[in-house]
Amino acid sequence: MYEEYWGLKEPPFENVPDPNYFYKTEAHEEAMKRLIYAVERRKGACMLTGEVGCGKTMVSRVFIQELSDKKYEIALIANPSLDPIDFLKEIVYQLGIDKTADSKVELLRLLNNEMLENMNAGKDTVIIVDEAQAIEDVRTFEELRLLLNFQLNERFLLTLVLIGQPEFKEKVSRIKQLDQRISIRYHIKPLDFNDTARYIIFRLKKAGLEENIFTKEAVEKIYGYTNGVPRMINVICDLSLLVGCSSKARVIDSKLVQKVIDDAQ
């Protein structure tokens, strides 16, 4: 709607986990390094947490893109709020296993066979559980723990990557048998002011605009309102571009951003 007015090829502040718009702060790069390390070294289980809207899902999508299809078979569980049997069925489905079963024993046998076949073919199995804080059934947590029993004497047969909001850490901490088996952990924090400014410029450039149309004062307003949370930054910047287009503005200044903030409250 506003792309032509601002000289953009596409909207720069969409709230979707598009790897092309992955802005690499030190924190996000560190998160990536730890996830890749956990998988490459077959560490069994790792955990990535962060506040709502801080880019965990984006990291997970870039992480998946980084892994070679030839070396890894990946199951992404995006909605893990399931009972134990349905949770196992979803893993079977996401791994592309063309068989199914209704009993836990049969499902675990299917998973075990798939992991052994992957190992014999020189591939590792990776199970990524996104939005893991949505898991409410204690029995499903128990299935997560038991998945780590898929191992040989010298190695795990899978790597379990758990991604969730801060409350997920609290849930896991109450299940000592699972908590103690998570060897790699990282927590993503919101952007600071400098990264907020660079984040906005990065997204504008990705969308085809070389010049920065957000004034320093506008960025200060955005940072003050969003506290550096990327999802909220996207919302305010997107609406600012829309309002700026409607009012024929030449730049996005602090007054325009304040109007957007006032309208959002």
Q: How far apart are CA 138 and CA 231, in angstroms?
A: 30
Q: Which residues of the chain fall below pLDDT 50?
A: none
Question: Residue 100's pLDDT is what?
Answer: 84
pLDDT at 154: 84
| Token duo for residue 248 | 């024929």
Domains and CATH numbers, the chain: 3-15+191-264 (1.10.8.60), 26-188 (3.40.50.300)
C-alpha–C-alpha distance, residues 2 and 173, integer Å: 47
Which of 139, 160, 136 lies closest to 148 in space, CA to CA?
160
pLDDT at 264: 83
pLDDT score of 8: 96
Q: Residue written as tokens 């038991």? A: 146
Residue 4: both structure tokens together: 């032509």
Residue closest to 88 by CA, chosen among 158, 165, 146: 146
